[in-house]
Chains A and B, each alone.
Chain A
């Protein structure tokens, strides 16, 4: 059962209503659910329209890519899944999602977050410190006889400091930890949805603006050291931007590889 929206979120959503278009309307709120992506996927299967949004303050079965657990303790994060049906936008939707979360967090908090290909949202301290992840995106779709019908774009945003498992401590951070004060979760939610509405509207007119914004937010896409797995073993190289199809370009020796999928490890 859905629950009433906390008042800070309701106020922030009302203040951004005009900029959000259909995103966040309708919006289903849960203080706790299994996984917002699963709930949104179920709604999409039953015909939920573009922009239908599921928000939870905690997930009991949150996950990242390939079933990796996304640590989602109560009160620490904001878990948001949005039904997207604009299939013109689909090929670059995951990049646009990264742009939307990064811009939403920037607008709501002023933090200078960056993107790591394709769409991790990170704080990048001065070298040699490693980037710390502030938000992640898991996009899921289903293709059958009728082709792609919808994409569920799920965001997990670390709002407050949590007792992260040991393995995560040097790789994760929160808006509260970076800002030094409690964040306004409602503003983060509302500005992210508004940025997503803007990004998807841009994409339906063509990829140029979103690609340009993505590139501006992702300095690590140039000159970053990466490793990735191929059928013939692990390769490494130096990032050399992204192609107009969103592929990460990596220079290795005298070749430039195009990476469209799979794991990329940042060194």
Chain B
């Protein structure tokens, strides 16, 4: 895990207003917790803590080269990001059902949401066939360029 990865996790927590984040994998346990009203802070980062069985007088092994579980998962998940700065709408009009819900199967070119900027209503369509597994932004909230909107578990 690189410093950049931790930064990404902190950014993710800010975006989704998560209070706590915990990640455990071989040789690493990371827990980040946000105090009430505080920006996220890294509480404990035993970066190179070896797994118990390997404990010995030997120097701790170098952290394993990058990509175990989490990265493999991101290969299967397509993250839909905002192409523009604007306001995010999950439904075509107030009171209408959302274009998509978590668990919905979606087809390529299906409308996922609208992002509005200066009264240009920009329909964001899916690039993939798959299943919506995460929706990151609440209806009516502002989004930044490149901000995550949805994660889609793609099907080939």
Mark A residues whose CB is within 8 Å of B.
65-68, 90, 92-95, 118-119, 137-145, 147-148, 151, 229-231, 246-247, 260-262
Residues of A contacting B117 in the complex (Cβ-Cβ under 8 angstroms): 260-261
Contacts of A141 in B (CB 8 A): 120-123
Pairs A-B, 3 closest by C-beta atoms = A67-B93, A144-B125, A261-B87
Contact B96 A260 (CB under 8 A): no
B side interface size, CB within 8 A? 27
On whether the beta carbons of B86 and A260 are closer than 8 Å, the reply is yes
Complex interface: chain A residues within 8 A of B150 (CB): none
A182 to B29, CA, bound (A): 76
Cβ A66 vs Cβ B142 within 8 A: no
Residues of A within 8 A of B123 (CB): 140-143
- A148-B83, A231-B141 known; A143 vs B121 contact (CB < 8 Å): no
A65 closest partner in B (C-beta): B119
Q: Which of B85, B89, B121, B126 contacts A138 (CB 8 A)?
A: B121
CB-based contact B120/A147 at 8 Å: no
A118 engages B118 (CB within 8 Å): yes
CB proximity of B80 to chain A, nearest CB, Å = 10
Rounded to whole angstroms, the CA-CA distance of A139 and B119 in the bound complex is 7
Specify which chain B residues have a CB less than 8 angstroms from the CB of A261 in the assembled complex. 85-87, 116-118, 142
In this complex, what residue of A is CB-closest to B94? Answer: A66
Residues of B within 8 A of A260 (CB): 85-86, 117-118, 142
Q: List 22 A-B contacts (CB under 8 A).
A: A65-B121, A66-B93, A67-B96, A119-B118, A138-B121, A140-B120, A140-B121, A140-B122, A142-B111, A142-B122, A143-B122, A143-B125, A144-B108, A144-B127, A145-B125, A231-B142, A261-B86, A261-B87, A261-B116, A261-B117, A262-B87, A262-B116
**Across-interface contacts of A143 in B (CB, < 8 A):** 83, 122-125
Contacts of B141 in A (CB 8 A): 231
Chain A residues, CB < 8 A from B86: 260-261
Residues of chain B within 8 A (CB-CB) of A144 are 108-109, 124-127
Q: Give the residues in chain A near B85, CB-CB below 8 Å.
A: 260-261
Establish whether residues A94 and B119, one from each chain, have CB atoms under 8 Å apart when the complex forms.
Answer: yes
CA of A245 to CA of B118 in the docked complex: distance in angstroms?
A: 10
Bound CA span A230–B123, Å: 22
Q: Please, which residues of chain B bring their CB within 8 A of the CB of A151?
A: 120
Please indicate which of the listed interface residues B89, B96, B116, B142 has the most CB atoms of chain A within 10 Å of its own CB.
B116
* B 117-156 binary contact with A (CB < 8 Å = 1; else 0): 1111111111100000000000011100000000000000
Asked if residues A138 and B118 are in contact (CB atoms below 8 Å), the reply is no
- Taken together as a complex, chains A and B put the C-alpha atoms of A141 and B125 apart, in Å, by 11
New A-B pairs, 19, CB < 8 Å, besides A143-B123, A144-B125? A65-B121, A66-B116, A94-B119, A138-B121, A139-B120, A139-B121, A140-B120, A141-B123, A142-B122, A143-B125, A144-B124, A145-B127, A147-B83, A151-B120, A231-B142, A246-B118, A261-B117, A261-B118, A262-B140
CB atoms of B94 and A118 under 8 A apart: no
B92 on interface, CB distance cutoff 8 Å:
yes
1/0 contact string of B68-81 vs chain A (CB within 8 Å):
00000000000000
When distances are taken between beta carbons in the complex, the residues of chain B under 8 Å from A92 are 118
A-side contacts of B92, CB under 8 Å: 66-67
Q: Which residue of A lies closest to B96 (CB)?
A: A67
Closest to B82 in A: A143
